[in-house]
Amino acid sequence: MPLDKYKAKRNFTKTPEPAGSGEMERRAAKKKSELFFCVQKHLASHLHYDFRLEHNGVLLSWAVPKGPSLDPATKRLAMQVEDHPIEYGDFEGVIPEGYGAGIVMLWDRGTWAPEVDDVDAALKKGDLKFSLDGYKLKGSWVLVRTKSPAYAAGRSWLLIKHRDDWSGDVDITEFAPRSVKSDGDLADILAADTPAIWKSNRPAKGGASGAMLNEIIEKAAAIKGGTAGSAAKSAKPASVGKAPRPRPSQRSRFARASQIANARRRL
Ligand code: MN
């Protein structure tokens, strides 16, 4: 069963992550048209971006430590992880404990289309060309499996942007850091839950991720507390929960950024 690994790693009485009902798998078997993709920014023991493509009723998933790059010269390591249920593609929130404990933001979503006839054959071969139509990521991309060390046998891929109207030298993770679901940042998402959830056992401790989490926890507490402190003032109002749809203007803003980058490159 495709979701066995996903289910084995989680205790669904303790995590808000979707268990996957099988309903979406059955539905996917019938339809062949629009395929879903998403990218979830996940601050767990380390910050990474989970890149997910709908295929055969599940989300094929890769963890991309540095996140996608719009620059075709920048190949991003993508470690294939267990398939996730389709329902996961809408998930944003806080995983309090266990596998993946941390904060999940729905960073991008949209549809994808393979640029090959046979996705399974392409995956087997380790060379999957496809196009994305998200809010932040668009155009042609490729996932290429690399020769990986034994511990990562067969799971190590590179995510690479092809040169097109949507490539450029904008750092998209910096330029568009917020949620496409709630428009919140990681602190807003934590504030909508329980900022003090990791009083003792924080998912990220040392290093850059630990420092980032400390900052986010403080900011989330200030947002939730509604204090007039500087952290609360500098934070955007927590819009999590209202889940406004991404504004159409966002689309053109990202599009423009890409076009500017292209124009600059051609000069
Ligand atoms: Mn993850």
| Ordered per-residue pLDDT tens for the chain, 267 residues | 679 899 999 999 889 998 887 777 766 666 556 899 999 999 999 999 999 999 999 999 999 999 999 999 999 999 999 999 999 999 999 999 999 999 999 999 999 999 999 999 999 999 999 999 999 999 999 999 998 777 778 899 999 999 999 999 999 999 999 999 999 999 999 999 999 999 878 999 889 999 999 999 999 999 998 754 444 444 444 444 444 445 545 555 555 566 555 555 554
Report the separation in Å between the CA atom of 152 and the middle of ligand 1, taken as the mean of its atom positions.
16
What pLDDT score does 144 carry? Answer: 97
Give the per-residue pLDDT at 228: 44
pTM over 0.75: yes
Whole-number Å distance, alpha carbon 233 to ligand 1 midpoint, is 30
Count of domains forming the chain: 1
pLDDT given for residue 148 in this prediction: 76
Is residue 221 assigned to a domain?
Answer: no
d(CA 45, ligand 1 centre) in Å: 9
Q: How far is the CA of 66 from the centre of ligand 1 (A)?
A: 12
pLDDT at 29: 60
Cα 218 to ligand 1 centre (Å): 22
Distance 225 CA to ligand 1 centre (A): 28
Pairwise CA distance, residues 161 & 170, whole Å: 12
Query: Radius of gyration (Cα) for the chain, nearest Å?
Result: 19
The sign one gets for the Cα dihedral 185, 189, 194, 200 is: negative
Rounded Cα gap, residues 183 and 65, in angstroms: 22
Helix (H, G, I), strand (E, B) or coil at 106: strand
Report if residue 203 sits inside a domain.
Answer: no
* Confidence at residue 238, expressed as pLDDT on a 0 to 100 scale: 46
Q: Does the residue 106 lie in any domain?
A: yes
Residue 229 lies in a domain: no
Query: Is 33 inside a domain boundary?
Result: yes
CB distance 42 to 102 below 8 Å: yes
pLDDT for res 265: 53
**252 lies in a domain?**
yes
The answer to whether position 169 is within a domain reads: yes
Give whole-number Cα distances, 242 to 153, 192, 238, in Å: 42, 10, 9
Beta bridge partners of 51: 39, 62
Q: Is residue 107 part of a domain?
A: yes
**154 Cα to the center of ligand 1, angstroms:** 18
Please tell me the distance between residue 103's alpha carbon and the centre of ligand 1 in angstroms.
Answer: 9
Q: Residue 252, exposed/middle/buried by CB under 10 A (0-12, 13-18, 19+)?
A: exposed
Distance 50 CA to ligand 1 centre (A): 5
Q: What is the pLDDT of residue 193?
A: 93
Quote the domain boundaries for residue 59.
4-181+246-266
